[in-house]
Amino acid sequence: MNTACFAAWIEEIARTVHAEKDRLTRLDAAIGDADHGANLDRGFTAVSRVLAAKQPETTGAMLTMVGSTLIRNVGGASGPLYGMAFRQMGRVLGDTPDVSIAQLCTALEAGLAGIQKLGAATEGDKTLVDALAPAIQALAQSVQDGVKPEEAISAAAAAALAGAEATIPMLAHKGRASYLGPRSVGHEDPGAASTALIFAALHAVTTR
Amino acid sequence: MNTACFAAWIEEIARTVHAEKDRLTRLDAAIGDADHGANLDRGFTAVSRVLAAKQPETTGAMLTMVGSTLIRNVGGASGPLYGMAFRQMGRVLGDTPDVSIAQLCTALEAGLAGIQKLGAATEGDKTLVDALAPAIQALAQSVQDGVKPEEAISAAAAAALAGAEATIPMLAHKGRASYLGPRSVGHEDPGAASTALIFAALHAVTTR
Amino acid sequence: MGTVKKLINGIESVVPDTLRGLAAAHPGLRVDEENRIVYRAAGPRPGKVGLVSGGGAGHEPLHTGFVGYGMLDAACPGEVFTSPVPYQMIEATTAVHGGAGVLHIVKNYTGDVLNFQMTAELSAEENIEVAAVLVDDDVAVHNSIYTAGRRGTGATVFVEKIAGAMAETGAPLHEVVRVAEEVNARSRSFGIGLSSCTTPSVGKPTFDLGDTEIELGIGIHGEPGRTRSTMRPARDLAWIAMDALHEDLPLSGDTLVMVNGMGGTPLIELYIVFAEVVDYLAEKGARAARSLVGNYTTSLDMQGFSITTCRLDDQLTRLWDFPVETPALRWGR
Amino acid sequence: MGTVKKLINGIESVVPDTLRGLAAAHPGLRVDEENRIVYRAAGPRPGKVGLVSGGGAGHEPLHTGFVGYGMLDAACPGEVFTSPVPYQMIEATTAVHGGAGVLHIVKNYTGDVLNFQMTAELSAEENIEVAAVLVDDDVAVHNSIYTAGRRGTGATVFVEKIAGAMAETGAPLHEVVRVAEEVNARSRSFGIGLSSCTTPSVGKPTFDLGDTEIELGIGIHGEPGRTRSTMRPARDLAWIAMDALHEDLPLSGDTLVMVNGMGGTPLIELYIVFAEVVDYLAEKGARAARSLVGNYTTSLDMQGFSITTCRLDDQLTRLWDFPVETPALRWGR
Ligand SMILES: Nc1ncnc2c1ncn2[C@@H]1O[C@H](COP(=O)(O)OP(=O)(O)O)[C@@H](O)[C@H]1O
Ligand SMILES: Nc1ncnc2c1ncn2[C@@H]1O[C@H](COP(=O)(O)OP(=O)(O)O)[C@@H](O)[C@H]1O
Ligand SMILES: [Mg+2]
Ligand SMILES: [Mg+2]
Ligand SMILES: [Mg+2]
Ligand SMILES: [Mg+2]
């Protein structure tokens, strides 16, 4: 994956987040404060704008820009968390011109670590970690199995989606949903749903 | 009509106002401020209480007590208006032991004059005057025609009821309904409706 | 009650319970719960004109929240949306009389006018000089001698503040009356409702509005307005209200402006309306020299707002700035 | 938008329009509309600890209405219910730094905590000494290291007032931090919702409640509470809330009490609740030595109330009584 490929991914995230804004907000209305769709849409709209103005020259710079722009424009819990994740990925990628799946996987692991350092959530806490962690595991497994990049990404996207759906029966331990106690059970976590969208976007651009 | 007869009338008013409280309030909700039923119920409940404690010795004193108690407990437009009317009636009746229909008619005319002096409403303004004035006219006509008291009162009650209904198509010129301008048309005036109740109560006790 | 979603203990106890809470919350007030009168704890000041107002409950903080230094000496709440009764007001009038007479501030409603009128007659018997000022600022109601005339709404706050300051300076009754009348003459209001309100005794909204329907020209008693219309951006609604005010009394120069919430509208929205009002005034060569943004003359839980403007002069501005210390307005002390 | 019954010009412009209105209404404030920061017009005072707070919009008057003498130096509103972003807060932190360090007052929500934390890291790079106090007073949320912990709600007002007074007296940063933490430690809140609220971007209530249903243990973001229950008289609801507070931190002696409206509840009902709170305290041998009754920490147009108590001592009482001059709280000046 080169910078053009990352740019396409980011644009696709922006497009699907905008298209799915209301669904994300509805999920957040059930167990949060009804702003997750609006938050991410505001963030990725800003990212698109920055990207349109001047495309960063390295893959690392591009993801760092995404992270910083999210931190600058989103606010809430998801702004710093996603922002930190993209910045960590950018730091790991640096000026790598062509990112392999293995390198992408390493970068994503750094992103996840950043999220967990900030938010202290582990798998099962009903957060975006529950979509991100299995997606990375699937990617790592694919790398180990030596499957084709498209297949690896497809597996990651499927795992993210399954991970998001698996948050439904969970009792929330982190984020706003935790305030609801047992009433958080039975609803999909909005952040996990947006993480699934991010992987679906990657899948969409790599199979184009 | 002696003091016992007036006491029965007043008790019957209290009973029907209480029973019709919600209807009066509903009428007031449409073109006023949704309190006419509550206002009159509060007033006549107080009147009943005073009457139960000590029955005034003359017909005049009894009606004066009704008026003063209404002024003391009702507030709003209807408190002073009905209060003044009963006080004027009490003043006219004084210590008359047995009130004839002609005397009742004279007293009611004084009551109406008191209401008009305070509120400056004339017939057609869509107020309680539109029920009270025709009721008195019917009573006066009956006296002139020399009909039996029960028939005279029956005619007055019918005229009050017709007068109240006749307020429906009227455009209000007085009271809160006037603020609505043309939107006051199509609704019965709550004060006219309560005046009709007062005459219906008189009819009910005289035909017992 | 049972099912009415109101924080009350029963319909009958709404006013007494409110008075209990008010007394406990504000040490600067003395509350006569029996007679339903709210006084300044400090009592009447000899030689000062006493200011008494009153009206139905449901418009809080009006009037009880405006009792205190620089404003009212006493307020008499009636039942919800029902004017108080004469015995209450004669009691208040007598109690605040400091030898210099008493001013009654009366909102122009038949009920209020009649009950205050009876009070004035009774006061005369007690040799208390009583004057009354009638507040009738609502331009939604066309003024005519053939009707009950304009309603008294938001300008009541301005009259109570400015007449209160004038009285505090030791001015004689006729001066306090003059300035009160002047404030009323220079003030205009217009209200827009986004919902009706629910009185405790009815338990459901006084009228129904569709999802996109609003009422233009509402009063403060949950009654429908002059016309029904459709929802629009804040800017358009603010301009509709301001146009109505400007048409009735052209706006220019220093203006005292209140953007008032009807009780159920959040403060954030009132500031948005106020921003538009400021633009409107600028366009007419006027400016909001002084302002209030918040809930001051409410209609229970109604959603919506009203705008009240008053053309200021130097004296009125000085009296507006005069110290005031009441539960709802406080500055300079 | 079109059909949403909110006084706004568009979803995107809610916060900027509010700031325009705020700037125009309060000459004591200076508003940086570009960066969305509300400052005292007078600017930072050399040698005084600067106080900065921030959080999502929709809780007005919190925090913007508490900027001024004796309280905050700056407030940073985010979008509705969304915490502000670090660039905004670092700008505010730098601007109010008077050489004695800056205190961040942070409500305990993941978003607020993370964004303030990033701000503190950036501030350290600029050699500004920054301390933060976390407000977490809501007893409806069970405290545990395995969760996000308790929410910060009404006690924020107490912390901002008392820490603000402390800073005004010239106390050093560690003293201001200590008193802020003490206020938080002595404060507890519990909220009851009679309705949900409508965020501008959603345009309909966040959750639905039946005609007789209420939510116990709500926060300030329109979210449902811990449990659903049925409507009861004000007295019962006040006692449910007070029991929750008392159980968590027994009430006794002089208490600072706030009966706070959620935005859509009229003042008259809040006074009724306050009257019951006073009875409750008396039964526990405590008393409401100081109080606030009104809309201070709202959740847009939500109907309902919250109660916040703080056990006072002499120093806290003195600091509470210290003069304050902000749009929403003002006394002594
Ligand atoms: N501590 C945490 N660790 C990881 N993810 C979290 C944490 N707290 C919240 N989140 C994620 O953030 C999402 C909510 O984001 P958003 O609604 O934009 O912010 P906010 O909760 O501040 O309104 C949640 O659905 C959850 O997935
Ligand atoms: N000027 C008036 N003259 C006669 N009757 C009037 C006048 N104003 C109001 N009313 C009567 O009073 C009734 C309303 O009474 P009520 O609802 O108890 O008082 P309020 O209007 O103060 O709420 C009206 O329906 C009308 O019949
Ligand atoms: Mg959210
Ligand atoms: Mg009425
Ligand atoms: Mg009334
Ligand atoms: Mg949020």
Rounded distance between C-alpha atoms, residue C189 and residue C241, angstroms: 8
What pLDDT was estimated at residue D147?
73
Identify the CA nearest to C211 among candidates A124, A151, D5. Answer: D5
Rounded distance between C-alpha atoms, residue A67 and residue D118, angstroms: 13
3-state class (DSSP) for residue B34: coil
The DSSP bridge pattern shows strands D213-216 and C29-32 to be unpaired
Q: Which residues contact C107 (CB under 8 A, 6 or more apart)?
A: C55, C134, C135, C136, C151, C152, C153, C156
Ligand 2, atom 17, lies closest to the CA of B36
Q: Which of B42, B71, B118 sits opposite C86 (nearest CB)?
A: B71
Lowest mean pLDDT among C104-118, C142-156, C307-321, D197-211: C142-156
Rounded distance between C-alpha atoms, residue D164 and residue D161, angstroms: 5
The structural domain count of chain B equals: 1
Choosing among D198, D235, D268, which should be mutated to test the C contact, i.e. which has the most C CBs within 10 A?
A: D268
Q: Which of C59, C63, C104, C246 is flagged as catalytic?
A: C59
How many Å is the Cα radius of gyration of chain D?
A: 19
Domain with A145 in it: what CATH number?
A: 1.25.40.340
The DSSP annotation for D125-175 comes to HTT--EEEEEE--BTTSPP-TTS--PPP-THHHHHHHHHHHHHHTT--HHH
| A197: pLDDT strictly greater than 90 | yes
Q: Does A43 touch chain D (CB under 8 A)?
A: no
pLDDT in tens, C108-134: 999 999 999 999 998 988 899 999 999
- Tell me the C-alpha to C-alpha distance, in Å, between residue B82 and each of A149, B21, C114, C282, C297: 90, 16, 12, 50, 29
CB of B39 shorter than 6 A to ligand 2: yes
What pLDDT was estimated at residue C166?
98
Could you confirm whether C221 is annotated as catalytic? yes
CB of A189 shorter than 6 A to ligand 1: yes
| Domain boundaries D14-186+323-331, CATH class | alpha beta
pLDDT bucket at C2, cuts 50 / 70 / 90: very low
Closest approach of D306 to chain A, Cα-based (Å): 16
Query: Which of D107, D110, D117, D220 for mutating ligand 1's site (highest number of atoms within 8 Å of CB)?
Result: D110
pLDDT bucket at C148, cuts 50 / 70 / 90: confident
- CB neighbour burial string for B62-90, b if at least 16 within 10 angstroms, e if fewer: bbbbbbbbbbbbbbbbbbbbbbbbbbbbb
Rounded distance between C-alpha atoms, residue D117 and residue D103, angstroms: 12
- CB neighbour burial string for A67-100, b if at least 16 within 10 angstroms, e if fewer: bbbbbbbbbbbbbbbbbbbbbbbbbbbeebeebe
What pLDDT was estimated at residue D3?
63
Identify the CA nearest to C271 among candidates B150, D29, A77. Answer: D29
What pLDDT was estimated at residue C1?
40
Task: Compare all CA atoms of chain D with the CA of C277 and give the residue at the minimum distance.
Answer: D21
Q: Which residues contact D74 (CB under 8 A, 6 or more apart)?
A: D37, D38, D39, D40, D50, D51, D52, D53, D67, D92, D93, D95, D96
Q: Which residues contact C274 (CB under 8 A, 6 or more apart)?
A: C257, C259, C288, C291, C293, D21, D24, D25
The answer to whether the CB of B48 falls within 8 A of the CB of B78 is no
Percent of chain C with pLDDT over 70: 99
DSSP label at residue C199: -
pLDDT bucket at D299, cuts 50 / 70 / 90: very high
- Paired strand residues for C33: none
Tokens of D93: 């932190």
Q: What is the mean pLDDT of residues A184-196?
A: 97
Closest approach of B121 to chain C, Cα-based (Å): 9
What is the number of the ligand 2 atom nearest to the C-alpha of C148?
1
Q: Which of B31, B35, B178 sits opposite C147 (nearest CB)?
A: B178
Parent domain of A10: 3-206
CB of B21 shorter than 6 A to ligand 2: no
Task: Compare all CA atoms of chain A with the CA of D208 and give the residue at the minimum distance.
Answer: A30
The answer to whether the CB of D257 falls within 8 A of the CB of D281 is yes
Q: Which of A33, A42, A174 sits opposite D148 (nearest CB)?
A: A174
Query: Which of B176, B189, B197, B198 for mutating ligand 2's site (highest number of atoms within 8 Å of CB)?
Result: B176
| D229: pLDDT strictly greater than 50 | yes
pLDDT bucket at D2, cuts 50 / 70 / 90: very low
What pLDDT was estimated at residue C149?
87
Q: What is the mean pLDDT of residues A200-204?
A: 98
Residue ranges, chain B, pLDDT below 70: none
pLDDT in tens, D19-77: 999 999 999 999 999 999 999 999 999 999 999 999 999 999 999 999 999 999 999 99
Percent of chain A with pLDDT over 90: 99
Rounded distance between C-alpha atoms, residue B18 and residue C262, angstroms: 31
Rounded distance between C-alpha atoms, residue A80 and residue D82, angstroms: 12
Residues found in chain D: 333
CB of A36 shorter than 6 A to ligand 1: yes
Query: CA D265, D270, D273 angle in degrees (round to 5)?
Result: 130
- Tell me the C-alpha to C-alpha distance, in Å, between residue D165 and each of D162, D286, D330: 5, 25, 12
Choosing among C79, C107, C114, C138, which should be mutated to test the B contact, i.e. which has the most B CBs within 10 A?
A: C114
**What is the CATH superfamily name and number for domain C14-185+321-331?**
Dihydroxyacetone kinase; domain 1 (3.40.50.10440)
User: Domain spans of chain D?
Assistant: 14-186+323-331, 187-320
CB atoms C60 and D271 under 8 Å: yes
**What is the CATH superfamily name and number for domain D187-320?**
Dihydroxyacetone kinase; domain 2 (3.30.1180.20)
Q: What is the mean pLDDT of residues C33-54?
A: 97
- Tell me the C-alpha to C-alpha distance, in Å, between residue D20 and each of D17, D24, D29, D218, D267: 5, 6, 11, 31, 26
pLDDT in tens, C294-317: 999 999 999 999 999 999 999 999
pLDDT in tens, A118-159: 999 999 999 999 999 999 999 999 999 999 999 999 999 999
What pLDDT was estimated at residue D298?
98
Identify the CA nearest to C107 among candidates B33, B196, B84, A7. Answer: B33
Which chain C residues are Cβ-neighbours of B81 within 8 angstroms?
A: 114
3-state class (DSSP) for residue A74: coil
Chains B and A touch, contact meaning at least 3 pairs of CB atoms under 8 angstroms apart: no
pLDDT bucket at D207, cuts 50 / 70 / 90: confident
Percent of chain D with pLDDT over 70: 99
Q: Which amino acid, D87?
A: Y
Q: Which residues surround ligand 5, an ion (CB under 5 A)?
A: B 33, 35, 76; C 81-82
What pLDDT was estimated at residue B187?
97
| C11: pLDDT strictly greater than 80 | yes
Q: Looking only at Cα atoms, what is the longest distance across chain C?
A: 56
What pLDDT was estimated at residue D226?
86
| Catalytic annotation, residues of D | 59, 221
3-state class (DSSP) for residue B8: helix
Could you confirm whether C59 is annotated as catalytic? yes
Q: Which residues contact D134 (CB under 8 A, 6 or more apart)?
A: D106, D107, D108, D113, D152, D184
Question: Looking at chain B from residue 59 to 78, which residues have their Cβ under 8 Å from any Cβ of chain C?
Answer: 71-78
Q: What is the mean pLDDT of residues C178-200?
A: 97
pLDDT in tens, D130-173: 999 999 999 998 777 677 889 999 999 999 999 999 999 999 99
Same fold flag, D14-186+323-331 and D187-320: no
Q: What is the mean pLDDT of residues C222-241?
A: 94
Q: Which of D5, D14, D274 sits opposite C231 (nearest CB)?
A: D5
Q: What is the mean pLDDT of residues D251-260?
A: 98
Q: What is the mean pLDDT of residues A41-45?
A: 98
- Look over chain A and give the mean of its residue pLDDT values, rounded to a whole number: 96
Identify the CA nearest to A23 among candidates A197, A163, A181, A202. Answer: A197
Question: Under CATH, what is the fold of the domain C187-317?
Answer: Hypothetical Protein Tm841; Chain: A;domain 3 (3.30.1180)
- Look over chain C and give the mean of its residue pLDDT values, rounded to a whole number: 96
Spacing, Cα B79 to ligand 5 middle (Å): 10
Nearest ligand to residue D79 Cα:
6
